């Protein structure tokens, strides 16, 4: 009697393209016909070594920390505003800190001062749209004096070398540099203030002295950078910086400020203040990415993905702030760009610079101007009113 489990057939001709037999169906391994054998059991993975779970290397483009990304995407793009200049009688006062809670943040952003300050940042961004750093622009005597002041601050770094110390961050020589800044800031300011506005130093000096980092913590971050923007805003409020100066304020003054800050960061090893790690845009800066993306809007050849082209970075980083920032990050950070700067890597996938610029403006409002740990140090006086 024939064995019921036997399954006889002629050997079919071997085909080099035949699919590998499945081990999960109750079919013959040679011809694929049905058999009376039960299907073999599915393999069970031992508890100690389950199959690896697939995880994407990184998330889709501009994927911010999960709690805030949707709100940023849906938020309106901030619009530029004209800065109203003050008129006599002047009531300059020592500015003070006011923000302590999310309610205070909301109060600031609903106020005319909060809206106008952000509108000023947008106006600065628009002033360099489509312009290289070296493009000729109107440079007023005030702008030239501010550039001279920044050059003086840079020279002080040469005069105050870092001391030898064991710590990786925070060279104590920075405190000496900062003390000199505090001692000389008023006289530096009087170089360009007209006689009727010399009393403004009481209000605008604190913004300047807090624009280059914190001397006790020896750190620097986007809050200090925002104070520099607030100092420039105050100068616009008192009329010593005018709208026709905006392009020079970005392409000359802010570029010089950025170069000074990079030197301070490298020489004195300033710690990143409140760094978001890989979730952040950059350890120290935000505004040059806004201004730099505006410069590149409608550029014929350079797209957001061009940041991965080393030749473009080498040849154009001196003309475009965004590329300058990317080149600097690649110089000071080791490893794959997508690993140490995933957000910037994601942004490189955005189709055009216009979208990058509008997205960064929304992100600046949400991730810098609406964050209590950053804005708790922001100053309010007569020029930037509270409430």
CB 347 within 8 A of CB 303: no
Question: What is the predicted pLDDT for the residue at 22?
Answer: 43
Q: 107: buried, middle or exposed (CB in 10 Å: 19+, 13-18, 0-12)?
A: middle
242-299: pLDDT as tens digits: 999 999 999 999 999 999 999 999 999 999 986 655 567 888 999 999 999 999 999 9
Question: What is the predicted pLDDT for the residue at 319?
Answer: 97
Q: Say which residue, 47 or 242, is predicted with more confidence.
A: 242
Q: What are phi and psi of 220, to 5 degrees?
A: -155, 140
Report residue 25's pLDDT band, with 50, 70 and 90 as the boundaries.
very low
Report residue 112's pLDDT band, with 50, 70 and 90 as the boundaries.
very high
6-23: pLDDT as tens digits: 555 554 444 444 444 444
Q: Nearest Cα to 255, choosing from 159, 328, 183?
A: 328
Average pLDDT over residues 97-112: 96
Average pLDDT over residues 188-205: 97
Average pLDDT of the residues of the chain = 87
Rounded to whole angstroms, the Cα distance separating 193 from 149 reads 13
List all residues 6 or more positions away from 90 whose beta carbon is below 8 Å from its beta carbon.
197, 199, 200, 382
Report residue 165's pLDDT band, with 50, 70 and 90 as the boundaries.
confident
Q: Say which residue, 191 or 47, is predicted with more confidence.
A: 191
Average pLDDT over residues 35-60: 52
Q: Print burial letters for 226-246: b (CB count within 10 Å at least 16), e (below 16).
A: bbbbbbbbbbbbbebbbeebb
CB 293 within 8 A of CB 357: yes
Q: 197: buried, middle or exposed (CB in 10 Å: 19+, 13-18, 0-12)?
A: buried
Rounded to whole angstroms, the Cα distance separating 182 from 98 reads 22
CA atoms within 13 A on the CB side of 290: 29
pTM: 0.82
CATH class of 99-380: mainly alpha
DSSP calls for 17-69: TPPPPPSSSSB-TTT--B-SSPPPPPPPPPTTSPPPPP--SSPSTT---TTTH
Question: What is the predicted pLDDT for the residue at 39?
Answer: 61
CB 304 within 8 A of CB 346: no
Positive/negative CA dihedral, 174, 175, 177, 178: positive
Average pLDDT over residues 59-70: 51
Neighbours of 123 (CB within 10 A): 20
Give alpha helix (H) positions in the chain.
Answer: 69-74, 102-110, 112-127, 141-159, 173-189, 201-209, 222-237, 246-248, 255-268, 287-295, 310-316, 321-332, 337-340, 342-347, 353-364, 372-375
Rounded to whole angstroms, the Cα distance separating 78 from 364 reads 10
133-160: pLDDT as tens digits: 999 999 999 999 999 999 999 999 999 9
List all residues 6 or more positions away from 60 whose beta carbon is below 8 Å from its beta carbon.
346
Q: What angle do CA 363, 336, 339 make, to 5 degrees?
A: 45
* Domain spans, the chain: 99-380
Rounded to whole angstroms, the Cα distance separating 382 from 197 reads 14
Residues comprising the chain, all counted? 387
Positive/negative CA dihedral, 198, 202, 208, 212: positive
Provide the token pair at 252. Answer: 């000359």
DSSP calls for 231-276: HHHHHHHTTSS-GGGHHHIIIIIIHHHHHHHHHHHHHHTPEETT--
Q: What are phi and psi of 338, to 5 degrees?
A: -65, -20
């Amino acid at each position: 009697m024939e064995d019921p489990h036997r399954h006889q057939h002629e050997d079919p001709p071997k085909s080099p393209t035949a699919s590998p037999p499945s081990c999960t169906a109750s079919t013959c391994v040679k011809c694929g016909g049905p058999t009376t054998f039960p299907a073999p059991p599915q393999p069970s993975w031992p508890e100690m070594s389950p199959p690896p779970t697939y995880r994407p290397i990184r998330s889709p483009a501009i994927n911010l920390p999960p709690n805030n990304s949707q709100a940023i995407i849906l938020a309106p793009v901030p619009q530029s505003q004209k800065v109203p200049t003050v008129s006599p009688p002047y009531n300059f006062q020592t500015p003070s800190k006011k923000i302590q809670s999310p309610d205070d943040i909301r109060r600031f952003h609903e106020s005319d001062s909060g809206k106008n300050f952000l509108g000023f940042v947008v106006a600065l961004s628009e002033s360099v749209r489509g312009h290289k750093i070296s493009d000729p622009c109107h440079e007023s005597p005030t702008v030239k004096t501010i550039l001279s002041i920044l050059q003086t601050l840079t020279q002080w770094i040469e005069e105050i070398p870092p001391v030898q110390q064991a710590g990786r961050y925070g060279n104590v020589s920075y405190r000496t540099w900062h003390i000199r800044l505090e001692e000389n800031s008023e006289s530096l300011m009087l170089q360009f203030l007209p006689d009727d506005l010399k009393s403004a130093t009481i209000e605008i000096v604190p913004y300047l002295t807090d624009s280059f980092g914190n001397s006790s913590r020896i750190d620097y971050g986007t809050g200090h950078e925002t104070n520099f923007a607030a100092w420039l805003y105050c100068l616009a409020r008192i009329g010593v910086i005018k709208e026709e100066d905006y392009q020079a304020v970005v392409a000359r003054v802010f570029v010089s400020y950025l170069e000074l800050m990079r030197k301070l960061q490298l020489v004195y090893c300033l710690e990143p203040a409140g760094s978001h790690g890989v979730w952040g845009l950059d350890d120290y800066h935000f505004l040059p990415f806004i201004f730099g993306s505006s410069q590149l809007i409608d550029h014929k050849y350079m797209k957001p993905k061009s940041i991965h082209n080393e030749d473009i970075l080498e040849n154009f980083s001196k003309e475009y702030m965004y590329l300058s920032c990317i080149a600097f990050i690649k110089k000071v950070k080791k490893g794959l760009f997508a690993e140490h700067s995933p957000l910037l890597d994601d942004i490189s996938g955005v189709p055009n610079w216009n979208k990058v610029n509008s997205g960064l403006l929304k992100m600046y409002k949400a991730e810098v101007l609406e964050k209590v740990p950053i804005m708790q140090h922001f100053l309010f006086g007569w020029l930037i009113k509270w409430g």
